[in-house]
Homo-oligomer: A and B are copies of this chain.
Amino acid sequence: MVGKPLVSIVSAGLSKFGKREGLYARELFAEAFKEALDRCPRLEPKRDIKAMFVGHMGEAYEHQGHTGAAAADWTGLLNIPATRTEAACASSGAALRSGVYAVLSGLADVVLVGGVEKMTHRTTAEVTEYLAMASDYPFEQWHGITFPGLFALMAKAHMHQYGTTEAQLAAVAVKNHYHGTLNPKAQMQKEITVETVLASRIVASPLKLYDCSLITDGASCAILTKPELARRFTDQPVHIIGSGQASDTIGLYERQSLTSLSAAKLAAKIAYEMAAVTPDDIDVAEVHDCFTSAEIIAYEDLGFCKAGEGGKLAESGETRLGGRLPVNTSGGLKAKGHPVGATGTAQAYEIYLQLTGQAERRQVKDAKLGLTHNVGGSGATAAVHIYRSETQ
């Protein structure tokens, strides 16, 4: 029997992802919030919303921290408690988790969670440096390694241990680009082939340009409430039935394994147990494909296949729309884009659309159970959430 709802999502919003010149992060956040309001006309934001958490990774991009208060101000939600959460690329996964705590606490019946990042006005070198702040300074950054290098080490280890191939990595990119063409808000709108990926320039071997996610401007949000209040705001709530967040060593060099993320496995275990479901029950998932290899490792960490079989699963087509378990129907970080602080709740947004039948051309038929998997840094943070539709 599937677990009880912890909290319910009554609406969600997403800004267009991509290069959003001339806008500040706060304006992108307001754009996402406006969509959430438009989808939920019964909600009166100033009356109903009692707290907010905003995932935001880097204050360097806009020389702007204090993002909770800035977002509260620019969304017209002045006065309520507004806190920025930061857990690297899992910043809004952590915001979602914080919102779950807040709703369950009884202190805030309706909570706005979301995330935002404005990145594209910076050079690639600047972005690479700002992102690197989420890795270990004394033992990683100081020596010059950045995230492509850290993930390349994991990819190499996976290839070495399991025989995973570059073509299997490329299959992830091809799938997610295809999905991106079905999502009008995705940054990338073109299909690619395995050959395109394999021929692209090397970023950090074995990862090539098309194995990497994008530098993106964007924002996302979701509105949470108690399950017993959800129907006041919508006829189509989506229920969060499992929530796991876990941590691991900040440095990759301290890990027991390079071929799986123990924080992701632990967060998944907690979420599955709370939800009383198994990986086989999941109909649709958004996973943290910051690099193509990370999606393959995610399949394994989430139990979608056995350890070492993620590459084969990627090639099989089963995780493509129409397959057994479509993964990253939004296009994922790879094609929808990766505005780092916004990614966690952008994943929740996609699952919200899927489980309410609003995913249009990329709708997974009869999707009832969804999962999001959001990773921070090289795996020092992971947040996994499991969702079910009202009709499940």
Contact = CB atoms under 8 A, between A and B. Distances in A.
A278 interface: no
Contact residues on A (Cβ < 8 Å of other chain), bracket: 35 or more
Interface stretch (A12-20, A101-109, A119-127): A101-109
A24 interface: yes
A81 B245 contact: yes
5 contacts: A59-B60, A63-B137, A78-B248, A85-B85, A104-B105
A367 B290 CA distance: 53
A86 B67 contact: yes
B69 A248 contact: yes
A88 B66 contact: yes
Interface in A67-105: 67-70, 72-74, 77-88, 94, 97-98, 100-105
A81 B247 contact: yes
Contacts of A110: none
Interface stretch (A164-172, A323-331, A375-383): A375-383
A266 interface: yes
Given A66-B133, A83-B86, A100-B105, 9 more contacts: A63-B137, A65-B133, A66-B381, A69-B250, A69-B376, A79-B248, A81-B247, A82-B87, A103-B105
Contacts of A88: 65-66, 69
A332 interface: no
Given A24-B138, A66-B133, A247 B381 contact: no
Nearest to A377: B66
Nearest to A102: B101
A189 interface: no
A136 interface: yes
B79 A83 contact: no
A176 interface: no
A380 B69 contact: yes
A81 B133 contact: no
Specify how many copies of this chain sit in the oligomer: 2
A249 B243 CA distance: 32
A77 B380 CA distance: 12
A320 to B, nearest CB: 32
Contact of A86 (B65, B107, B251, B381): B65
A263 B79 contact: yes
A104 B108 CA distance: 11
Contact of A58 (B57, B59, B69): B59
Contacts of A152: none
Nearest to A137: B64
Contacts of A72: 247
A248 B101 CA distance: 23
A48 interface: no
A246 interface: yes
A86 B84 contact: yes
A134 interface: yes
**Chain B CB within 10 A, most for which of A24, A81, A82, A132:** A81
Interface in A18-76: 24, 51, 56-60, 62-70, 72-74
A234 interface: no
Given A83-B87, A87-B84, A69 B137 contact: no
A80 B266 CA distance: 9
Contacts of A64: 133, 136-137, 141
A348 to B, nearest CB: 16
Contact of A133 (B63, B141, B266): B63
